[in-house]
Amino acid sequence: MEMTAIRFGTDGWRDIVADGFTMANVRIVAQAIASYTKEVGQQEQPILIGYDTRFLGRRFAEEIASVLAANRIRSYLVNEAAPTPAVAFGVKHFAASGAIMVTASHNPPEYNGIKYIPEYAGPATPEITARLEAWISEIASSGQPVQTVALSDAARDRLLQVIVLRPHYEAHLRRMVNMDVLRNSALHVVVDAMHGAGMGYVSSLLAEAGVKTVGIRETPDAAFGGDLPEPNDKHLGLLKKEVLERKASLGLANDGDADRFGVVDRFGTYIPPNDVLVLLTHHLVKNRKLTGRIVRTVATTHLLDHMAEHYGLELVETPVGFKYIGEQMRQGDVLIGGEESGGASILGHIPEKDGVLINLLLTEMVAFENKEIDQILRDVYDEFGELFHTRLDMRLAEKEKWIQQMVTTPPQRIGPYAVQGINRMDGIKLLLEEGHWVLIRPSGTEPLVRIYCEATNATALAKLQEAIRDWFSEINV
């Protein structure tokens, strides 16, 4: 029987349940993590196991525990579906060697996945991922079945313990968020859990602080209500509708494992993550009086650069992927780290993206300013200027070849704008005159080229988009 290759990529392994994501393959990945844990001499410490609301999540988590027990490695199995950031926090809190999170994040419902979180409570580095892939390959090609232990035997031998994680994580969030500011506000917030593992986290903490809160899609549903659990403009129709009908001041959402955030203003207008990062940076410096480095990926707004310059803070640019932001956070002194796809973390928190914390901090900001979020954003634009951004996903079968050609002989102009600088950190980023830029990089998962554009005015953005579409019509996509 031909075995599906297990690719343990940037954010772990994801595949379709009952196709590539099978019990047999889950056991192989669990054994690879056990072998890696022994290799680095951490087998005396427990490994946390978490899971989200996806199909068979708990059952896959138990299978992982049975493999770890066969390796004489203790596991702490979380008692209920939990957000990825909560499980990452648990690694530090319980002094674990790491965590295994059963999640496919914002992928479609038919997917599940496994993410490994090492002892520093952030995304696995490329070096760790490479070691795990080597172990996976060795175990899979050996043809030997992976050993397991019955859960009752594992519990008897104290190799399996079911733990309650939520109160510890919530206590940490209360320390990270100014609950007193929330208590004195007259806010009305709608929170959309999108049927994911974040259900009840944001809404209950806001309600506890006296904020008028309504939670929607807060029941576990492995089919996510027939939608994609991705909190972007396209999938937050229900949240927009509820915010408008209830005349709420703010709508907040999380994805399937609650590591990403989504925000809607009082008019039901989606606020892109780029603008959310700008708002949070402004709040942390102006209202919280905090300082530190601002870290963003190469695909994220340069408005953060303008703010860093104004505030006298260092700005660090990284390749795409939160693991690179996490690496910067582990070095310390990072005020905020974020990416345009909806992931962020701040000073004093784990080096992992956390949509629950970000949503609470946004509510804190609105309460502190005593203004609507759209008004605060307008204030920030008035002070630092407004930038306009978009992402185009262009289908291209030979994407690597095309991008390689682009990297070797980049264009000298895009539309009417001359290329003034080139950044090859991740794909190719063309820095244009007048402060516009275009980033071209391949999708890691699909036959797509992702093209990120940012311009200082809406007309320029339209011209950039038109020029890019012309390229692709020329190569007959």
Chain segment 136-194, per-residue pLDDT in tens: 999 999 989 999 999 999 999 999 999 999 999 999 999 999 999 999 899 999 999 99
Q: Where are the beta strands (DSSP E) in 233-292?
A: 250-254, 261-265, 270-271
The three-point CA angle 398-403-408 to 5° equals: 130
Neighbouring CB atoms inside 10 A of 418's CB total: 12
Tokens of 233: 């403009």
β-pair type (261-265, 212-216): unpaired
β-pair type (334-339, 293-297): parallel
Q: Can you give the pLDDT at residue 443? A: 79
Residue closest to 229 by CA, chosen among 258, 205, 200, 269:
258
For residue 81, pLDDT over 60 is answered with: yes
What is d(CA 78, CA 170) in angstroms, rounded to the nearest whole number? 15
Q: Where are the beta strands (DSSP E) in 148-224?
A: 160-163, 188-192, 212-216
Secondary structure of 3-61 in the HEC alphabet? CCCCCCECCEEEEEECCCECHHHHHHHHHHHHHHHHHCCCCCCCEEEEECCCCCHHHHH
Enumerate domains of the chain plus CATH numbers: 13-166 (3.40.120.10), 177-384 (3.40.120.10), 388-474 (3.30.310.50)
Chain segment 275-285, per-residue pLDDT in tens: 999 999 999 99
What is d(CA 460, CA 463) in angstroms, rounded to the nearest whole number? 5
Q: Can you give the pLDDT at residue 1? A: 36
Over residues 80-93, the mean pLDDT reads 98
Query: Binning pLDDT at 50, 70 and 90, where does residue 477 land?
Result: very low
For residue 70, pLDDT over 60 is answered with: yes
Chain segment 326-358, per-residue pLDDT in tens: 999 999 999 999 999 999 999 999 999 999 999
Phi and psi, residue 119, nearest 5°: -65, -15
Q: Quick check: helix, strand or coil at residue 415?
A: coil
Share of residues in the chain with pLDDT > 90 (%): 90
Tokens of 136: 């996976």
Tokens of 425: 């950190």
Chain segment 383-434, per-residue pLDDT in tens: 999 999 999 998 887 777 888 888 889 999 999 999 999 999 999 999 999 9
Of 449 and 176, more confident: 176
For residue 10, pLDDT over 90 is answered with: no
